[in-house]
Structure 1
Amino acid sequence: MALDHYYTLGRSGLRVSRMALGTMTFGNAAIRGISGSWGSADEISGAIFDHYTDMGGNFIDTANSYGAGASESLIGQFMREKGNRERLVLATKYSNSLEPGNPNAGGNSRKAMMRAVEDSLRRLGTDYIDLYMVHTWDRITPAEEVVRTLDDLVRAGKIRYGGLSDVPAWYAARAQTWAECHALTPLISLQLPYSLAERNIEQEFVPLAQNMGLGITVWSPLSMGLLSGKYRVEGDRWAGEGRLTTDASGKGMGLFTARNHAILSALQDVAAELERPMAQVALSWVLNRPSVASLIIGASKLAQLQDNIAAFELQMPAELSARLDAASALPSPQPYALFDADYQAGVLNTGTSVGDKPASYAPPQWMSKVDDFTYGKG
């Protein structure tokens, strides 16, 4: 597995690298006179972009609000300089407002989407976007309105595919079902947080993705840096320094918990046995989870990107992966506890053995790997 081995995204023919380049760090706001100083200098962002694409990576993830538009503008500049627009799968998002005081400058509405897509196309310097997504559910706009507008943008040639990021599972199911029932362009992706320390999507979103043809693109696979190797546990104590120990609360954004202490302890032990960095082990675990299509990896330094890409080389033994599973497992809340295999074996299938798939079952074609854009290799 490497950046130039491509997989289809959701139930579509779109081929993407399994590690997407996250560009939230592209563009230092202070340099552009924007409040705040978070983000990388332009030359560092350019080096990261060049290295990722030179290695065969083709999946670029951004949003209209990253750096107040600076991220999209820089990506447009980098694509022009390298002349590689057609080789890339360019994904961007709308929802966050760039105009305080205007109630229709943000949210998921048709009005907001139509304005935002034109602004993104201008900043990116392109006449189409490969994957256009709702950034965050606004709790207001009907799913029907979002799906209808995405379909209109596909038909107009301004976008190629639509997707959702950070929405409730029921909303995603409603949107996809509406698209299918009305012969509108189906959604192909869900962008969600997922990591050893954040496994809540497994109850609803993973089965949703598997059954409705949605590829999950994962953000924060290192849990805000908790699993990056900057933090360790020493007995009952936390050790290490980084932005999680210097945030306003001084409590690591709520991440320094007893559960995460146990996860980090197990991750340290597994990484030591494999003689690999903790971040690579944590990324490898996520890469091999069901329905995960691609990981979104952000980097503020070129060395960080290079280290993360090396996670592709890691082949984790099943017993070590199982130790990480056990350390990070979440209890099943109701009613999900009623769906556990052990419970159903004793209550629903008493005295019988029932499997969920026949032995001859094979994954559908849309879940298959594509090597170098050639069928039949994997």
Structure 2
Amino acid sequence: MKLDNYLTLGRSGLRVSPMSLGTMTFGSDWGWGADAGESRRMFDLYLERGGNFIDTANFYTNGSAETLLGRFIADRRESVVLATKYTLNMQPGNPNAGGNHRRNMVRSVEASLKRLGTDYIDLLYLHIWDNLTPIDEVMRGFDDLVRSGKVLYAGISDTPAWQVARMQTLADLRGWTPLVALQIEHSLIERTVERELLPMAHELGLGVMAWSPLGSGVLSGKYTRADLGHARDAASGVTGTRKDVAAGNGALSERSLDIAGTVAQVAKEQGRSSAQIALAWLLHRTAPVVMPIIGARTFAQFEDNLGALDVQLDAATLQRLDTASAIAKGFPHDFMALPMTQGVVFGGTTARRPA
């Protein structure tokens, strides 16, 4: 697999690389990102290898990520597929400067276009569901932006599967712009998305991007059990250190370190880094295909991450990683899979739907 072995994005005809360049680490505003020079080196290497799919958000490093990216793409805008997001509040204290509503969507897009130095966004994501905005307001807002030419495709991130299904169904029914991409946290330590979100994406034609594919760095092997008691200031949000973020989002746990241990064993056996094995596991996913978003703090980390494209995992190794990270699917999935249930449904016959 290579970065220039492009895939179509969801139900669209847009061609994107199988691994996306994440820019949440572009800028040092939060205390743990890369400076402009290091960010540029990662950007240049990604494009040199044939990569074209760039992921950012208005909120990343307080807007610095978009500003830096705007400089980097100035002379090659047409060669990249640029994805950004709206929702997160850029003006604390202003209730309408955050959320999924039309006003924030439109104003966020205008501000992102200025920071990015472009007149259109290839893919705009709703960043996280706010549990307040009517779905018709969101989907009509996306449709209006696409019709205006300021946005070309719509996507969604960090939203319950049932809400995404409602939104996609509404868009199809009314002839509005459909969603073509779903961005979710997915890794060997976060597999609960396999219960509803991944099957939904497969059925509704959504390309899947995985953020935090290394589980906030835990799967790279950088943490040990000595880090489990790490305390952090709950009010610091995304600022501080990477360890603060890992502790705050729950990635640092006994279970996660157990899984990371299995990844480290496989990596040693194959002469690879732990990060490459964890990313390769995602790259081997099918139905739907999962595209990892890699966002490193240093050029060396980023270059190592790209090495995952060269890793081949056999069936036995994939099963070993699956077993170490297995989750219970829960009801109704586990009930549906019972031999008794299958017996009364199919009456002793076999049937399947072609992939």
Fold-level match, TM-score > 0.5? Answer: yes
Give the match for residue 366 of structure 1: none
Q: What's the CA shift string for 1:6-37, capped at 9, x where partnerless?
A: 001101101111110100111122xxxxxx53
1:170-319 matches, within 5 Å, as 170-231=162-223, 238=225, 246-248=230-232, 252-253=247-248, 254-290=250-286, 291-319=288-316
Secondary structure, aligned partner of 1:173: helix
Match of 2:140 among 126, 141, 148: 148
Q: Distance in 1 between matches of 2:305 and 2:202?
A: 26
- TM-superposed CA distance for 1:344, in Å, is 3.1
Unpaired runs of at least 5, structure 2: 234-243
AA at the equivalent of 1:122: K
Secondary structure, aligned partner of 2:153: strand
- TM-superposed CA distance for 1:338, in Å, is 1.6
- TM-superposed CA distance for 1:288, in Å, is 1.5
RCO comparison, higher one (Cα < 8 Å, 6+): 1
> Given the alignment of the two structures, is residue 17 of structure 1 paired with residue 17 of structure 2, yes or no?
yes
State whether residues 10 and 293 of structure 1, in contact with CA within 8 Å, keep that contact through their aligned partners in structure 2. Answer: no
Q: Distance in 2 between matches of 1:356 and 1:308?
A: 37
Match of 2:53 among 59, 83, 86: 59
AA at the equivalent of 2:261: S
Give the match for residue 349 of structure 2: 353
Superposition CA RMSD, Å: 1.8
Unpaired runs of at least 5, structure 1: 30-35, 233-237, 364-378
Give the match for residue 112 of structure 1: 104
Distance verdict in 2 for CA 1:264–1:38, change over 3 Å = closer
State whether residues 156 and 181 of structure 2, in contact with CA within 8 Å, keep that contact through their aligned partners in structure 1. Answer: yes
% identical equivalent positions: 49
- TM-superposed CA distance for 1:266, in Å, is 2.0
Q: What's the CA shift string for 1:290-314, capped at 9, x where partnerless?
A: 3134211001111111101110101
- TM-superposed CA distance for 1:258, in Å, is 4.0
AA at the equivalent of 1:147: M
1:154-165 matches, within 5 Å, as 154-165=146-157
Q: What's the CA shift string for 1:158-202, capped at 9, x where partnerless?
A: 010000010111110011000000011111001000011100111
The number of aligned residues is 342
Q: Distance in 1 between matches of 2:164 and 2:282?
A: 22
Secondary structure, aligned partner of 1:224: coil
- TM-superposed CA distance for 1:154, in Å, is 0.5
Q: What's the TM-score once normalised by structure 1's chain length?
A: 0.86
Give the match for residue 367 of structure 1: none
> Given the alignment of the two structures, is residue 71 of structure 1 paired with residue 55 of structure 2, yes or no?
no
Q: What's the CA shift string for 1:180-232, capped at 9, x where partnerless?
A: 00011111001000011100111101111111000111001111111012135
Q: Which moved more, 1:255-264 or 1:115-124?
A: 255-264
Give the match for residue 37 of structure 2: 43
Give the match for residue 326 of structure 2: 329
Distance verdict in 2 for CA 1:341–1:57, change over 3 Å = farther
Q: Distance in 1 between matches of 2:316 and 2:112?
A: 46
Match of 1:89 among 56, 60, 81: 81
AA at the equivalent of 2:131: R
Q: Distance in 2 between matches of 1:353 and 1:264?
A: 41
State whether residues 218 and 292 of structure 1, in contact with CA within 8 Å, keep that contact through their aligned partners in structure 2. Answer: no
Q: What's the TM-score once normalised by structure 2's chain length?
A: 0.92
Give the match for residue 371 of structure 1: none
Secondary structure, aligned partner of 1:176: helix
1:116-135 matches, within 5 Å, as 116-135=108-127
